[in-house]
Amino acid sequence: MNFEKFTDKFWLRKGAGGTAYEIRGKLSWNLPQLIFNPEELDVASLAGLMEGILKESTRLYFMRRRLQVDMILSPPTDRASLLSKQLRLEELTGLIDAMTGGWFQRKLTQAFSTSRRKGKKPAKASNKKAAAKPAKK
């Protein structure tokens, strides 16, 4: 086919034999990536890491709660034990806070300030009077 005149439309050719329409395109793909994309491994490994962090933060949270309950039900009798348990409580709080990106400490602070505004005394782990006081009938 002999094209003698080109138009401003790249897909339209006018020649001696009439008008011809031509459409060109290019399509390519990487067959191995179509079947398996290595980025899927990255997402799967991140999901596994997230699950591990969730399990560890849950374990630390309940370890912290058990320590708080223990300090209320059997308060330490000597100052060294009290300081040791308080330090462990702060350590667990810090670990949980680090795993939650600061969320845990913000919620503790928020709960503490809310209870103070309502006139309630915040629960203390070393409150001997509350643990020793018998229930009213």
Does the pLDDT of residue 137 top 50, yes or no?
A: no
Query: Residue 31: inside a domain, yes or no?
Result: no
Alpha-carbon span 11 to 77, nearest angstrom: 92
Query: Residue 66: inside a domain, yes or no?
Result: yes
Dig out the tokens for 1 from the structure: 């086919």
What is the 3-state composition of the chain as percent helix, strand, coil, each rounded to the nearest 5? Answer: 60, 10, 30
* Per-residue pLDDT at 102: 96
What mean pLDDT do residues 86-103 have?
Answer: 97
Query: Residue 13: inside a domain, yes or no?
Result: no
* Per-residue pLDDT at 99: 95
Does the pLDDT of residue 34 top 70, yes or no?
A: no
Dig out the tokens for 115 from the structure: 């209870």
Tokens 């001997």 belong to which residue? 128
* Per-residue pLDDT at 1: 46
Number of domains the chain is built from: 1
Does the pLDDT of residue 111 top 50, yes or no?
A: yes
Query: Residue 71: inside a domain, yes or no?
Result: yes
Residue 63: domain span: 42-106
* Per-residue pLDDT at 118: 80
* Per-residue pLDDT at 123: 56
Average pLDDT, the chain: 79
Query: Residue 116: inside a domain, yes or no?
Result: no
pTM: 0.57
Query: Residue 7: inside a domain, yes or no?
Result: no
Instruction: Give me the residues paired with residue 91 across strands.
Output: none
Query: Residue 32: inside a domain, yes or no?
Result: no
Query: Residue 135: inside a domain, yes or no?
Result: no
For the chain, the first-to-last Cα distance in angstroms comes to 107
